[in-house]
Each structure stands twice: as C-alpha cells, then as structure tokens.
Amino acid sequence: MLEWYRKSFIRGFTTNPTLMRKAGVADYRAFARAIVAEIPDRPISFEVFSVEFGQMERQARDIAAWGANVFVKIPITNTRGEPSRALVRRLARAGIRVNVTAILTPAQIEDVLPALAEGPAGYLSVFAGRMADTGRDPVPMMAAAVERLRPHPNVELIWASPREILNVFQADAIGCHVITVTADLLKKLELVGKDLDEYSLETVQMFRDDALKAGYTL
C-alpha cells in the first residue's frame, strides 16, 4: 500500500480480512492504524468481521474512529444471509462513511441504496469480477448501477474484483466512479498500448527460453 501510495493515479485503498491474512497481518487494529497514519489523505476501507449485527456495529464505530479518511466495509448480508440494510442505515445516519461490500445482484443494490443515501459519502462495492467468473457479463449491470446512483451523488459505485486490465477500460467507459485493482494487475498497466507483433515475438521467446531452462528434448 505504501509503495502504491507514491503513485498519484492511485486515489484510495481497500483491504479485507482475507487479504490481510494472506499478507501475514497478525494484529488487525495495529496494522490499520499504522497504515492510516502513513496514508492520511486518501480514502481507506477496512472491514468488520462479526456475524452478529450488534457486534458489527461496535466494530464499525471502532474502525470509523481510526481516521477521518476511513470508510467502514459492511457486507451486504451476514453469514446467515440476513440483510445488513438496517445496520447500514444506522451507521449512515450517525455520519459514518460506509462501503457496502460483496454485492452481486441488482436487487441487493436496490435494497441497501436508500439506507446508504441517507448519510455522508459512501460506496456500493459490486464484485463484477466474481460475476464474470460465473459466465455472466458484468458490464450491463454495472452500467445500470451507474445510472441508478445518479440521483445520489454522495454514493459512488466500485467495480470490485477485476480480473484483467480490460476491466479498467470497461469501468471507465460506463462512468463507474471507482475500480479496485490488485497490485499484480496494476503492474500490467505498462502493457497498455503495447505493439502486438512485439508482444507476440516476446511470447514465442518466452516459450523457447522456458523449454531450454527445463532441458526438454524430443
């Protein structure tokens, strides 16, 4: 996060318990507060992880106090499939900036948008990449979501879980407000506009080099 913070085109950050666990973070609070201290001027989203809405609310209020640039990620439902709409409304009315995450359907957007619209700046995080994993084209739904949010300027749409650099261009084409991109994908930005003949030759060379390194013979 600190490495990419130095890039002016990176406008904010988000994480979740899964990513933090993979990164070896042992102390959630200590890590988050250290990051907020280092990155005080761009939005950062941290997620609650309780099953019970009462505990979620306690965690959300705790997280919101970590910094003025912090957004609290609330899943669209808990692990029992119970909608989080009422909790989102309470937090929004309390002035807490909420990022509603793990959204995958238009019905979920319709369910939670009125609650989020009652508060300060907020995000609807739609996992377009996961939708694509199921064989569905996410572009029509994401484009419709952009239009649905237009009467609510305090709520922005996030294209979450992209799978390829093309998703960045798709999100931009429909006017999506934010796209979250992993570090691995960001590194591929240098390929944008690359000559395809040159890229083809490099690919052939890669196959040849790997065959030699492996000592293959026929």
Which amino acids are annotated catalytic? 73
How many CB atoms lie under 10 A from the CB of residue 55? 13
Question: DSSP string spanning the chain?
Answer: -HHHHT-TT---EE--HHHHHHTT---HHHHHHHHHHH--SS-EEEE---SSHHHHHHHHHHHHTT-TTEEEEEESB-TT--B-HHHHHHHHHTT--EEEEEE-SHHHHHHHHHHHTTSSSEEEEE-HHHHHHTT---HHHHHHHHHHHTT-TTEEEEE-S--STHHHHHHHHTT-SEE---HHHHGGGGGTT--HHHHHHHHHHHHHHHHHHHT---
Cβ atoms < 10 Å from Cβ of 209: 10
Q: Which amino acid is at 185?
A: L
